[in-house]
Each structure stands twice: as C-alpha cells, then as structure tokens.
Homo-oligomer: A and B are copies of this chain.
Amino acid sequence: MSQAFRLKQSIEDAVIAGEFLPGDRLDEASLAERFGVSRTPIREALLQLGAEGFIDVRPRRGAIVSVPSPTRLFEMFETMAEIESACGRLAARRLTPDNDAAMETAHRACEIAAREGDSEQYYADNRNFHEAIYRASRNSFLADQAFALHKRLSAYRRIQLRARNRLLQSLQEHAGILEAIRAGDEQLAATRLHDHVLVQGERFSDMVLGLAGDRRSDASSRSGTAK
C-alpha cells in the first residue's frame, strides 16, 4: 500500500503516544529522514491529519500538534459527551446479544484492571468498552465519528485516569451504563453516558484552567470565542 497512508498512521500513533506533545513542530524534513522517505509522502500524511483536525497545518508555516485552548477542549469533551450519549441511546434501543456480549467482555476486563489498580491497562480496556458501545449503536457512521473524536481526545483523557479513585468510580459508572442499556432505557443510558464523559472533561478542563488562566465559559456567561 502507499506509504502516505502508513505514514499518516505512524505519525498519528506517535502523537497519541505522546511522543510529540501539543505545540510541537512537525517538520517535514526531519520526519522524512526519520522514516526514510522523501518529503512528498510526509506532506501528504500531514495534510490528511490536518484535515481530520488531529494536527494544525498553517499554510507556509508548517504543522504543529494542535493546542486546543481550555475552552476549545471543554467544547470537545462536551461534544464527545453528546455523541456518546447518542450511541448509548441507540444501543439501548437496538441491543443485540452479540453487542451485549462484547460490552460484557470489555466490562469484565475493566473490572480486573481496576481491581489491580493498573491504570495503563484500564486505559486500554476502557477504550474497548467505549468502542463496544459505539458499535452497539448499530450505526457505523456514528460509531466512526465517535471513534475519531475519542482518538483525538485520548492524549487528554489518559492523564487523569492516574488517580486510583477515579478508576473505581469510572468502573461503577460503566456498570450503571450497561444496566441502563440492557434495560432498554434510552433516556437513562444517554444521561449516564453523558455524565460519565463530561465528568472527565470537567476534571481535565479544571486542571488545565489552573495552569492556563483561561475561563471555561460553558453554560454560563457569554463565552468570548465567537466564531
């Protein structure tokens, strides 16, 4: 297969793995050298990642890993919450035995990781659990959107799963979500998923806010970022 697509994946992985941090410059020449190719496929990969919103490509000024403002970051988490709750609503409406089993398996894995306090493992299993819900929506387009946004936020999500408390609380929330989906209660499933996701966004935003001095401006007040 063409190199550009492989490179796109590699660069994306490197960003997700935290090798390139938000704000880091993605210089074409060094990437080309690193991967042993010319600048052309590197450029193509970078432009694709830029179109997906993963990185920031400014004409004539090179590409950098996106640095969302705290406001923007909160908006991204809020959007994630809305999309996930949509998945949950549909999953509750359409649950099949297959999807049910997949969620159960993922949930069990989370349970083990949480009990052992292995946050790195929990991070991976948590991802599987959420993906199982996306698929359970039985809307592959919606699932794709959810999956893409989940990836974009992974860098920010990982950080705050470190606390042991949060692991157990997260697990508890998962159980509640599963219960609602199985009961076919669309409204409850949506609400629980919404809160589950948004809590992470709020925790993280608060954390960033402390450092950055930008206001979160969600519901209240007229946020400054008109667009």
By a beta-carbon cutoff of 8 Å, the part of chain A in contact with chain B is 1-2, 4-5, 43-44, 47-52, 59-60, 72, 75-76, 78-79, 82-83, 86, 89-90, 93-94, 96, 135, 138-145, 186, 218-219, 222-227
Contacts and interface: CB of A to CB of B under 8 A. Distances in A.
A51 B50 CA distance: 9
A219 B139 contact: yes
Contacts of A89: 82
A142 B82 contact: yes
Contacts of A4: 47
A76 B141 contact: yes
Contacts of A145: 79, 145
A138 B219 contact: yes
A141 B79 contact: yes
Counting chain B CB atoms within 10 Å of each CB, the highest count among A51, A135, A223 belongs to A51
Given A47-B44, A51-B49, A93-B219, A79 B142 contact: yes
Contacts of A93: 219, 224, 226
A191 to B, nearest CB: 11
Contact of A48 (B48, B72, B138): B48
A140 B75 contact: yes
A218 B142 CA distance: 13
10 contacts: A4-B47, A44-B44, A44-B47, A49-B51, A75-B139, A79-B141, A82-B89, A82-B142, A86-B86, A94-B219
Contact of A227 (B2, B60, B186): B186
Given A79-B145, A93-B226, A138 B218 contact: yes
Given A51-B51, A76-B141, A82-B82, 12 more contacts: A4-B47, A44-B44, A47-B51, A72-B141, A75-B141, A75-B142, A79-B142, A82-B83, A82-B89, A82-B142, A138-B219, A140-B227
A96 B222 contact: yes
Nearest to A89: B82
Contact of A60 (B2, B139, B143): B2
A144 B83 CA distance: 14
A140 B225 contact: yes
Given A60-B2, A227-B186, A142 B78 contact: yes
